[in-house]
Structure 1
Amino acid sequence: MRLLLVGWAATRLLLLLCLFQVLPLPGPFVSADVEVIYRGWYEVLSGGAYPADDVTWQYPPAAALAILSPGLLPFLGYPEAFYLLAAACDAAVLALLLVGVRRRGHSPAGAWVWVVGLPLLGPTSYARYDVMVTAVAVAALLLVVRRPRLGGVLVAVGALLKVWPALLLVGTARGRATRLAWGAAALTVAGLGAGFALFAPGSLGFLTHQRERGVEVESLGALVFHVARWFGWQGEARMNYGSIEFLGPYVGVVTTVSLWLTAAAFGWLLWWRLRARVWTPTTCAEAAFAAVLLFTVTSRVISPQYMLWLVGLAAVCAALRSAGQRPAVRLVVAAAAVTVLEFPLLFSLVVESRPLGVALIALRNGLLVAAAVVSCAALWRSTVLAPAALPRPAGLLSRPAVGRSSDASAR
């Protein structure tokens, strides 16, 4: 426990020193989003409206709460307050994982995955509000099996912060657990969504702000254009909708293919849910991990902060002792280590489609694809191919064998 806490404190101090420019890293200034974009949104949101005219605002309405949260520390500048609040959310995730170790016999491996995995992403971890969303998602996933209503409420809050936590409910057990969790989530989304729409104009503007997006240079589909550039492709990579994206010939084709792959992934999840026969205490976390992996690898945008989601879910699977997901957890941690190399350290090589930059993107995305395949296969084996539990004969339940403490020992 001491080593775990010392490791957390040391690595998080390094992240903060990088963000405060005491230990500057090569590559683009990762805190520009907080110091320029988020701060600009803060000014608009403080006036009671959403930045509806800014196409870089692509987030659900509750994201406003994350952007406004530095106002809770008015004695600090906006960036400093944001980074400290991000560190507090990071600590909250660690606390949730450690409470499970002490009270419910969870594995400390989950806490180690979080302590090691987050800093592997570099200072980007604290320079986006995704760590706040991940904290809500981890809490929801740890609660939803035991307290489905509360878990459903937290999933809804997470979805209103950044959509993807809605996938956490894909693995709830059929029947009462699903009715309670999904019902609570639906009511929470409806109630909070109506409240945001009533009190702040433009809360649903994010729904139309991504229609003209290209293919982000770090995505799986971007590999097509990285290689095509070597053979004279006439497109370009430039800032678009808040990230560096490929724009030009055939980008629309790759975008369409990405959307169809995402639809196919959701189709597979539906097929899995219909075929699943066995639910265990870890199934919900395993299904959530597999679903978010599928969503990530088929997306036309794989920003570095997306890895935070996966590290958080991997930590939950490890904490719950999900043996089948261990290979996928290791692959995600490895992908996080590669991510910090491609962004921010060598990002210029990625943008210019240099061989080393393309190799890093291919390696990181290859690890994620492998993790998605391994995770889905393990989920299928543990729920569809596993033999369904057979009911015991009534005699075994009512008459234990003579001289034995239980029917199990008699067998």
Structure 2
Amino acid sequence: MTHPRAALAAAWLATRALMLWLLTYRGWDVVGREVWQLYHHWYGVLAHGAFPVHDTLWQYPPGAGPLLLSPGLLPGLTYFQAFVALTLAADAVVALALTRAGSRPGRTLLGATVWVGGLPLLLHLPLARYDVQVTALAVLSLLASARSTRVCGTLAALGALVKVWPVLLLTGLPKGRATRSAWTAAAVTGTTSLALLCTLFDHPFAFLRQQGGRGVQIESFGGTALALARHAGWPGKVRYQYGALEYTGPYVPTVAHVSLALSAVSLGLLLLWRVRARLWGEATPYDTALSAVLLFTVTSRVISPQYMIWLLGLAAVCLTSRHTTQRPVAALVVAATAVSTLVYPVLYDEVMDATWTGVALMLVRNGLLGAAAVLSFTRVWRSTVIPPKSHMSPGSRAATPVAPAGPARLVH
């Protein structure tokens, strides 16, 4: 096992050095500017004990505040340098956690391999966003679920305070005591942390106004439909607002409402699965977390390129288990990640102008994500929901529920 671990360590060092070189070489382009301009500006506001109340670009829960202040803990470095250093540290924590989990008996290092080799597909983007830190909390939360559901719930709550999606990690825990323990820990941690943030900072809920005003980003499924509509004569335009390029014009509100309705449908599917699920295997919490985040990603009004960091991390956790149902889903996620780099930043002008090249890229990327979401949920359903007994004629054998591959247990 030493040689695979050494190979992973060498690959991490080589690929991260390349990412760091790209960030240094191209660090002052639009990718790096997010940190040294926007995040640094917010740092100045947060350091005075308030959230950016009148800034339309501030759309993040209160937990993002301490994270954006954290580069100040590294004296002697500029904000940009300290932010990148902390992001690399979080990346290393994820790689180490996945390697440790994959080294246990009956596990596999495939998850660590996907993370180490998949993240550089996004070039230097991951080093200039704080999604790696949030993904680290999510990965640690899921990996902890087998040993301590309280730790799982605590870490998921901390992640949700930074970006809401980690709350979905708790959807796949076994029914009964495990779920109650995790949700109780999450509720206590979330409430306590939120109360502390409300005490330390003014205007902690300022983000809600900006988040509610967001429209249809050009990279979302709705944005792809509107890009096609432009070629059919739709008169809409692209405008920079709320920190993203969004479509404006007739029917855009309708597309946004459809996206919200589809997110509600996704929630309904997850609730239906919780009611119907009976079989829980070792990888079920991992698989369900990936499925849930995929469903809410593809139905979102916004699919920023950094969302792929979340999906890579969750897919990597699934692949630490030999009993996961998500191997083909993980392959689709990796492919979508590679295409996302062409979408942004390589050919973003094509996407922005809705040229046929840009439209084709979005159809491929979103097609891969859509296929991954459908396949993921279908495989989770089939591996955990016991089919109803067939109505058989007298004398025939009744249908027998089939358990998923690998160890599974029946949950009543």
Give the Cα–Cα distance (whole angstroms) in 2 for the partners of residues 211 and 142 of structure 1: 33
Paired residue for 2:140?
A: 139
Q: Identity across aligned pairs (percent)? A: 50
C-alpha displacement of 1:325: 0.6
Letter in 2 for 1:17: W
Which residue is 2:391 aligned to?
none
Look up the equivalent residue of 1:15 and give its one-letter code: M
Q: Would the aligned equivalents of 1:145 and 1:177 in 2 still touch at CA under 8 Å? A: no
Whole-Å separation in 2 of the counterparts to 1:113 and 1:289: 14
CA distance in 1, matches of 2:20, 2:228: 36
Does structure 2 conserve the Cα–Cα contact (< 8 Å) formed by 1:28 and 1:347?
Answer: no
Uncovered stretches (5+) of structure 2, i.e. residues with no partner? 387-400
- In 1: Cα distance, 2:354 partner to 2:236 partner: 12
Aligned length in residues: 388
- Residues 1:248 and 2:249 are matched in the alignment: yes
1:368 is displaced (CA, Å) by 0.4
1:300 counterpart SS class: coil
Alignment-derived partner of residue 114 in structure 2: 113
Q: Counterpart of 1:177?
A: 178
- The whole-number CA distance in structure 2 between the counterparts of 1:106 and 1:156 is 27
Return the alpha-carbon distance in structure 2 between the equivalents of residues 250 and 390 of structure 1: 48
- Aligned twin of 1:405: none
1:136 is paired with a residue whose SS is helix
Q: 1:409: which partner in 2?
A: none
Cα offset, 1:106, TM superposition:
2.2
Question: Counterparts of 1:11-410 in structure 2 under 5 Å?
Answer: 11-21=15-25, 24=26, 29-385=30-386, 387=402
Kindly provide the CA deviation profile for residues 366-399 of structure 1, in whole angstroms up to 9, marking residues without a partner as x.
00000011111110111003546899xxxxxxxx
* Superposition deviation, residue 211 in structure 1: 2.2
Counterparts of 2:295 and 2:29 in 1: how far apart (Å)? 29
* Separation of aligned partners in 1, 2:323 and 2:163: 26
1:160–1:189 Cα contact (<8 Å) kept: yes
**Secondary structure in structure 2 of the residue aligned to 1:237:** strand
**Contact 1:30–1:124, Cα closer than 8 Å, also in 2:** yes
- Describe the superposition over 1:80-117 as per-residue Cα deviations: whole angstroms up to 9, x where unpaired: 11111111100000000111133454210000110111
**Preserved contact between residue 159 and residue 165 of structure 1 (Cα < 8 Å):** yes
What is the CA RMSD across the aligned residues, in angstroms? 1.6
Residue 14 (structure 2) aligns with: 10
AA aligned opposite 1:9:
L
Q: Deviations over 1:254-296 (max 9, x none)?
A: 0000000000000000000100010112111111000000010
1:324 counterpart SS class: coil
Q: Judge which range, 193-202 or 381-390, deviates more.
A: 381-390
- Greater mean alpha carbon deviation, residues 125-134 or residues 27-36: 27-36
Q: Which amino acid aligns with 1:166?
A: V
Give me the TM-score of the superposition, normalised by structure 2.
0.91
**Take 1:212 and 1:180, find their aligned partners in 2: how far apart are those partners?**
35
State how far apart, in whole Å, the 2-side matches of 1:184 and 1:3 are. 37
| Shift of residue 75, structure 1, vs aligned partner | 0.6
State the one-letter code of the partner of 1:7.
A
Kept in 1: contact 2:102–2:321 (CA 8 A): no
Q: What's the offset of the Cα at 1:28? A: 5.5
Segments of 4+ moved more than 4 angstroms = 388-391
- Contact map agreement 2:287 2:324 (CA 8 A) in 1: no
Q: Return the TM-score normalized by structure 1.
A: 0.92
CA distance in structure 1 between the partners assigned to 2:130 and 2:29 by the alignment: 18
Change (3 A) 1:66 1:275: same
Structure 1 spans left out of the alignment, 5+ residues? 392-411
What code does the residue aligned with 2:265 have? A
